[in-house]
């Protein structure tokens, strides 16, 4: 319990000081301007929500190195004592090892999956019957808002960053990420953002209840719980940008010899594309929330029409991020699926280059379609048709990927184990979600189903049948590498089938009741929808239970599963060429890449080789004494 050394006690002190600072600042400024009363609770809360995370980061030790640099003092050269994890406690410290950070990311994100899933269960419990059962309408709005925000910003986006953090440096033959300290900071911003969003339930007036979209002026006039979203998203977004920057620099500057861009595994390509999207698009959601915050806290008038503001501007700025964000939540999954389908069907990826180029095409086209979310918003009519066309066009690169996957499977020797089942489940479900997406691109159809359950069905086919299936596939696929243990195959298959069936029974009927006109985001509904809703609620509880099978399998297998060999899937990519889990510094010597990553079924094909002896003469081996310094 030292308040001087970095750690939780000092972080607690940091938070206390930050809250004290918030009080001081608010009282000071208000006294200076002569405002009455001098103490304004809402103002203190807003300042504290910004300051307290920094108090935590500083106290926790994330800034120690940079403070030393800023003061002009000698910076301690990296001494690697913060690499690797010897006990579970090491996951609760600042750690700069990409493998530790990867596991921190993945476990934290899955925790938020369970939390967000719980909210979904509460929503479905309320919707099981017409009328009000468990919660009041405001609390219901809060439930689905926090459900969406948590699962988007604290689960799907970061869990992909977690997987990539773990396997991407290994895949390209790098000893770590380019900026390990920034990497640690990126991770620790996540729990802060998540706790902030959940803490909004404690706010007077209830949690934020404006959906994950937080449209102005709804959000600028909502009770104070709204700012927990406004500010929480800033931390999640900053984390996302910092990680993306880190991935890009790592991929560009730290590839192993011979690892040209067109020898990179598609997971690396996918994260490269995603990171480009994040670096370019995420600042827009940050700005949209700055606008809301400025409007709420300082009386700005960005959206106040009577004073010359433009209320639709929020939606334009928001969707300029949030449409690309659906690709941020999808492209890394494409990468995971490409890895698994090639390995599990023992065939090279069909059209590898087209797969890479279609990712880049999605990155570019993703910025040209945002207003398809605004067809009924009352924006200028001439924007509609161009956006309809670009939205239909963006289905082309996605279609290329789906046909490439099918061609990869064609005449392959399919190994139908759990990762493969989830991958195949993804290909089918995501295709359905994509088709309803093209339907929604058509303006007359969209006008008919806007704000109905058809939208809910579409988004869940894309983000659950799409993203979540790829995440489960990836979790099973890399589980042996990350934990050094094998998962239970029978429980894995049980998990897949219950999820797959439960998912379809839950979301497929929503298309129907949506077309019939059941509105989304309302706690009550007309009697005619009662039958389907009860059915959907029961099916959704099956999905909820199936998740418990997954959690049980992961926890028990991690503790007591059989030891995993280095390469249980006989994969060629580099992360499988080292032990499970990998050595503390990944490689003794950096491998040399001599061929493509997916040459399955090609006799004698090699992706990377370790030229141990001759390279050691030029490179410093692990643990060697510093030379000449």
Partner 1 sequence: MEAGALTLPHGGGHDEHHGPPPANRSSRVDAPTLGMLLFIISEIMVFGAFFTAYFFIRVVQGAEWPAEGTHLPQAIAGVNTAILLSSSLTMHWTVMAAKADNRAGMRAGIFTTALLGFTFLFIQINEYVHIGFSPSDSAQGSIFYGLTGLHGAHVFIGLMLLCFVAIRVFRGHFSSAHHRGLEIPGIYWHFVDIMWVVVFTTVYIL
From 283, 295, 366, select the one nearest 329 (Cα to Cα): 366
Closest CB to partner 1 among 553 and 573?
A: 573
Residues 6+ apart with CB under 8 A from 213: 318, 322
Looking at beta carbons only, is 23 or 610 nearer to partner 1?
610
Site for Cu ion in 316-345 (CB under 5 A): 323
Cα–Cα distance for residue pair 409/345, rounded to 1 Å: 6
Region from 151-159, 190-198, 242-250, 532-540 binding partner 1, contact rule CB under 8 A: 242-250
Residue pair 26/39 in contact by the 8 Å Cβ criterion = yes
Binding region for partner 1 (CB under 8 A) out of 75-83, 136-144, 198-206, 516-524: 75-83
Among 154, 128, 157, 151, which Cα is nearest to 140's? 128
Q: Which residues pair with 452 in a beta bridge?
A: 519
- Measured CA to CA, the distance from residue 96 to residue 408 in angstroms comes to 38
Report the residue from 283, 351, 519, 544 that binds partner 1 according to the rule CB under 8 A: 283
Choosing among Cu ion, partner 1, none, which partner's interface includes residue 323 (Cβ < 5 to 8 Å by kind)?
Cu ion
Residue with Cβ nearer partner 1 (252 or 389): 252
Burial class (CB in 10 A: 0-12, 13-18, 19+), 628: exposed
With H, G, I as helix, E, B as strand and everything else as coil, classify residue 62: coil
Distance of closest approach, residue 65 Cβ to partner 1, in angstroms = 7
Which 3 state secondary structure label does DSSP give 547? helix
Go through the chain and tell me how many residues it has: 629
The position carrying tokens 């990311």 is: 105
**Which does residue 497 touch among Cu ion, partner 1, none (CB within 5 to 8 A, set by kind)?**
none
When the beta carbons of 180 and 437 are compared against partner 1, the nearer one is: 180
The token duo for 273 is 């594309």
Q: DSSP label at 452?
A: B
Q: Is 585 in the site for partner 1 (CB under 8 A)?
A: yes
179 binds, among partner 1, Cu ion, none (CB under 5 to 8 A by kind): partner 1
Count other Cβ atoms within 10 Å, centred on residue 76. Answer: 9
What SS3 class is residue 83?
A: coil
Is residue 215 within the footprint of partner 1 (CB under 8 A)? no
Q: Which two tokens stand for residue 122?
A: 């509460």
Please, which of residues 287-326 interact with partner 1 by CB under 8 A?
A: 287-288, 291, 294, 298-302, 304, 307-310, 312-313, 316-317, 320
Please identify which residue in the block is written with the tokens 């059941």.
Answer: 518
Q: Measured from the CB of residue 217, what is the shortest distance to Cu ion in angstroms?
A: 22
Q: Which is nearer to Cu ion, 323 or 344 (CB)?
A: 323
If one asks whether residue 178 binds partner 1 (CB under 8 A), the answer comes out as yes
What is the secondary structure of 222-276 as a DSSP string?
S-TTHHHHHHHHHHHHHHHHHHHHHHHHHHHH-PPTT--GGGS-HHHHHHHHHHH
Residue 207 touches partner 1, criterion: CB under 8 A:
no
For Cu ion, the closer of residues 225 and 324 by Cβ is 324
Nearer to Cu ion, 323 or 520 (CB): 323
Binders in 87-126 for partner 1, by CB under 8 A = 96
Identity of the residue, 91 or 367, whose beta carbon is nearer to Cu ion in the bound complex: 367
Q: Within 451-470, which residues bind Cu ion (CB under 5 A)?
A: none
Using CB under 5 A as the binding criterion, the count of chain residues that bind Cu ion stands at: 1
Q: Is 560 in the site for partner 1 (CB under 8 A)?
A: no
Alpha carbons 470 and 164: distance in angstroms, whole number: 13
- Total site size for partner 1, rule CB under 8 A: 77
Query: Is the Cβ–Cβ distance between 392 and 345 less than 8 Å?
Result: no
Per CB under 8 A, 185 contacts partner 1: no
By CB under 5 A, name the binding residues for Cu ion: 323
């Amino acid at each position: 319990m030292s308040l001087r050394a970095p750690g939780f006690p000092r972080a607690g002190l940091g938070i206390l000081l930050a809250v004290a600072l918030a009080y001081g600042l608010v009282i000071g400024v208000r006294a200076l301007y002569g405002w009455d009363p001098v103490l304004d609770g809402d103002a203190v809360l807003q300042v504290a929500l910004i300051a307290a995370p920094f108090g935590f980061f500083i106290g926790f030790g994330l800034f120690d190195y940079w403070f030393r640099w800023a003061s002009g003092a000698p910076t301690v050269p990296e001494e690697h004592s913060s690499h690797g994890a010897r006990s579970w406690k090491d996951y609760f410290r600042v750690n700069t090892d990409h493998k530790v950070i990867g596991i921190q990311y993945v476990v934290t994100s899955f925790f938020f999956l369970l939390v967000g899933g719980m909210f979904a269960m509460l929503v479905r419990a309320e919707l099981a019957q017409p009328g009000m059962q468990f919660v009041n309408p405001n609390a219901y709005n809060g439930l689905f808002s926090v459900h969406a925000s948590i699962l988007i910003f604290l689960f799907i986006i970061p869990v992909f960053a977690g997987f990539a953090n773990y396997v991407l440096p290994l895949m390209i033959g790098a000893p770590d990420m380019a900026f390990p300290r920034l990497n640690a900071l990126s991770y620790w911003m996540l729990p802060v953002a998540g706790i902030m969003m959940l803490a909004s339930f404690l706010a007077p007036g209830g949690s934020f209840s404006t959906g994950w979209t937080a449209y102005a002026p709804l959000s600028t006039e909502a009770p104070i719980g709204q700012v927990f979203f406004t500010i929480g998203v800033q931390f999640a977004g900053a984390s996302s940008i910092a990680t993306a920057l880190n991935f890009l620099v790592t991929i560009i500057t730290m590839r192993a010899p011979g690892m040209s861009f067109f020898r990179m595994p598609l997971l690396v390509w996918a994260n490269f594309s995603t990171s480009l999207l994040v670096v370019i698009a995420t600042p827009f959601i940050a700005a949209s929330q700055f606008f809301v915050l400025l409007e709420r806290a300082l009386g700005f008038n960005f959206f106040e029409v009577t004073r010359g503001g433009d209320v639709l501007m929020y939606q334009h700025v928001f969707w300029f991020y949030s449409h690309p964000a659906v690709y941020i939540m999808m492209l890394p999954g494409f990468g995971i699926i490409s890895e698994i389908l090639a390995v599990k069907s023992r065939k090279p990826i069909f059209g590898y280059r087209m797969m890479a180029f279609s990712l880049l095409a999605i990155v570019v086209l993703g910025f040209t379609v945002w207003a398809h979310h605004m067809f009924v918003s009352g924006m200028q009519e001439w924007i509609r048709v161009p956006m309809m066309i670009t939205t239909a066009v963006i289905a082309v690169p996605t279609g290329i990927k789906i046909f490439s996957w099918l061609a990869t499977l064609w005449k392959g020797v399919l190994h139908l184990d759990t990762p493969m089942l989830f991958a195949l489940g993804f290909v089918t479900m995501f295709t359905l979600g994509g088709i309803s997406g093209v339907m929604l691109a058509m303006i007359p159809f969209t006008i008919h189903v806007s704000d109905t359950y058809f939208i809910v069905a579409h988004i869940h086919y894309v983000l659950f049948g799409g993203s979540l299936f790829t995440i489960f596939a990836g979790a099973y696929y890399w589980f042996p590498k990350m934990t050094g243990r094998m998962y239970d195959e029978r429980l894995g298959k049980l998990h897949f089938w219950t999820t797959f069936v439960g998912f379809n029974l839950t979301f497929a009927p929503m298309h129907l009741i949506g077309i019939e006109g059941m509105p989304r985001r309302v706690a009550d509904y007309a009697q005619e929808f009662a039958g389907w809703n009860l059915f959907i609620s029961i099916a959704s509880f099956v999905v909820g239970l199936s998740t418990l099978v997954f959690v049980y399998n992961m926890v028990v297998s991690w503790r007591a599963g059989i030891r995993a060999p280095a390469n249980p899937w006989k994969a060629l990519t580099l992360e499988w060429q080292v032990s499970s889990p990998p050595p503390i510094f990944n490689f003794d010597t950096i491998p040399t890449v001599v061929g493509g990553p997916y040459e399955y079924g090609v006799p004698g094909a090699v992706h990377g080789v370790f030229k141990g002896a001759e390279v050691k003469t030029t490179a410093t081996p692990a643990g060697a004494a510093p030379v000449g310094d």
